[in-house]
Amino acid sequence: MGTETVHADLLVIGFGKGGKSVAARMGRLGRRVVLVERSDQMYGGTCPNVGCVPTKALVHHAEMRRPDDPAREWYAHAVEEVQALTAKFRAGNYESFNGLETVTVITGRAEFADPHTVTVETDGDRITVTADTILINTGAEPIVPDIPGLRASPRTLTSTDLIRTTALPDRLAILGAGYLGIEFASIYRRFGSEVTVFETSERILGHEDVEAAEAVERILAEEGVEILTGARVTEVRDAASGATVVYEKDGRRQTIEADAILAAAGRAPATRGLGLEAAGVRTIERGAIEVDEHLRTSRPHIYALGDVHGGPQHTYLSLDDSRIVMDQLTGEGRRSTDDRVAIPRTLFTTPPLAAVGLTEEEARRAGRRVRIACERVADITAMPRAYIVEDTRGLMKFVVDADTDEILGATLLSVDAQEMINFVALAMRHGVTASELRDTVYTHPTSTEAFNEVLATVVRVDEPGTAGA
């Protein structure tokens, strides 16, 4: 095995959004940068390879499938198209550093030897990298619950496995009804799979607005997805023809058969094997790296960006992490995670569910006197866009402070929700009131003009601590 020692001004471990953004900017400033990525299939990080890009591309292909299109052939072609797209993104991410003489990309497994030194195991070689500043940007990895038989079953798949499988499962069991589980249920049902979703709690999407979550559940049920809430999977048994999923619901032990089982229990920070103890970097729950508001770890010269430090797992937050770190390295050091206000989120079901700020329940628990404006999309006469694209399912809901007219939160389950929510979030950040958003002039025919009507449709005003209708 060959050995080599390299010194860098900046070492970035992980090719995710935040790390690669800092690496590129520092490289352009003439700093010596080393970027280490464990797999050549992950250049660019989770989003373009196994996350946002491939899953949303599958959403698109699933929506394009017509009832007469052969399910298996359509799905296999879709996966091939999506993999070609991710390969293009992956190559583009790698090539983006080719023109930067100050940046070196190393493919291999990194492990800390001490606070300033990392060893990288590559194909037959060991490279020792020392650096003045180090960024940890290793992302997160799927969690497979410790259920008897689940981890050992060849039918068990993570989301990464499933989106790379060209054989469409006839019967798909999904363990978990959070964002990941519900999105995949929507995708694979539209491709033609029989889908059953298991959720241990009494409702799906437990962190979202109750009315919106119920509407999502109705939409999925109408499309043929079976959702079992209050159901605890206790065992998985393998057989030649598939797997048997054993579960308990309403005090009864029951079973279903599945060709594939998707473990959709979330993702945990990918910190195993990094040797963080040798670096003196502290971790917290589920192995997440402890950081302050400037993303510094317990070692001031080591930062953690993206999913690896816990919290909401969004690519756009990883990008914002890069801005905070760049401000520490080259700016005034004032930016922090405390600056983040009204961060939106989207679940790409069909139609998509997007939300920002407080739900109705959260606002009341916080002691706010709220005004609720809510309307079903099918009843919004000022939204011809939904009729034009032939999808009037869903609802739009705003939570407004009854005393100040401040927009406290919004939940949009509708066509174009993934775009509209950014508009609402921007309004919230800049103090635009509900009345101003209601009375703004919008182009026609668009989805945003629905705000003119929805925000004028007050369904209730609740005092703090009272239950909504």
The DSSP output letter for 38 is: S
- The beta strands (E) that lie in 226-266 are given as 226-229, 231-239, 242-249, 252-258, 260-263
Nearest CA among 173, 151, 188, 148 for reference residue 228? 173
Angle between helices 17-28 and 315-330 (to 10 degrees): 30
Q: Are 397 and 373 in contact (CB under 8 A)?
A: yes
Token pair for 142: 């799927």
Count of beta carbons in the 10 Å neighbourhood of residue 412:
31
State the sign of the Cα–Cα–Cα–Cα dihedral 336, 337, 338, 342.
Answer: positive
Cα first-last separation, the chain: 69
Residue type, 378: A
Residue type, 419: E
294 labelled catalytic:
no
The span from the CA of 32 to the CA of 99, in Å, is 14
Torsion of CA 191, 349, 270, 308, to 10 degrees: 160
The span from the CA of 173 to the CA of 256, in Å, is 9
Nearest CA among 224, 178, 169 for reference residue 199? 178
CA angle 252–257–260, rounded 5-degree value: 125
Question: Which one from 7, 60, 294, 444 is the annotated catalytic residue?
Answer: 444
Count of beta carbons in the 10 Å neighbourhood of residue 369:
16
Token pair for 242: 């598939």
Q: Are 454 and 375 in contact (CB under 8 A)?
A: yes
Count of beta carbons in the 10 Å neighbourhood of residue 348:
21
The span from the CA of 335 to the CA of 201, in Å, is 38
Q: Are 13 and 137 in contact (CB under 8 A)?
A: yes
The span from the CA of 205 to the CA of 411, in Å, is 13
Residues with active-site annotation: 444
